[in-house]
Amino acid sequence: MGIFDVFKKKSSAGVAKDRLKLLLVSDRSDCSPETMENLKNDIIKVIAKYMEIDTKNLDIQITQTESDNGKGYVPALVASIPIKEMKHGK
């Protein structure tokens, strides 16, 4: 499986689920769905340079976490990216 598997055609339910996730994330972070999708794609491209990843089971989200001073919440990027194997340098 390569990086381009991300672009395979998904079922309508899968597409709807992805859109809903993007809307929820954008609401939490004041980040547009387009920016979130671009961020996700950029992260995938960079990581794929160094390792083979499972693009079907990855999960990248922006959530809220308590700030360091304990006076409120701040956005946090959370990524779960299953690694299939490391790519070795040439």
C-alpha–C-alpha distance, residues 46 and 22, integer Å: 21
49 CB burial (10 A radius; 0-12, 13-18, 19+): exposed
Q: Are 46 and 34 in contact (CB under 8 A)?
A: no
Assign 74 a pLDDT band (cuts: 50, 70, 90): confident
pLDDT per residue over 14-52, tens digit each? 777 777 766 666 666 667 778 877 888 898 899 989 999
pTM (predicted TM-score): 0.55
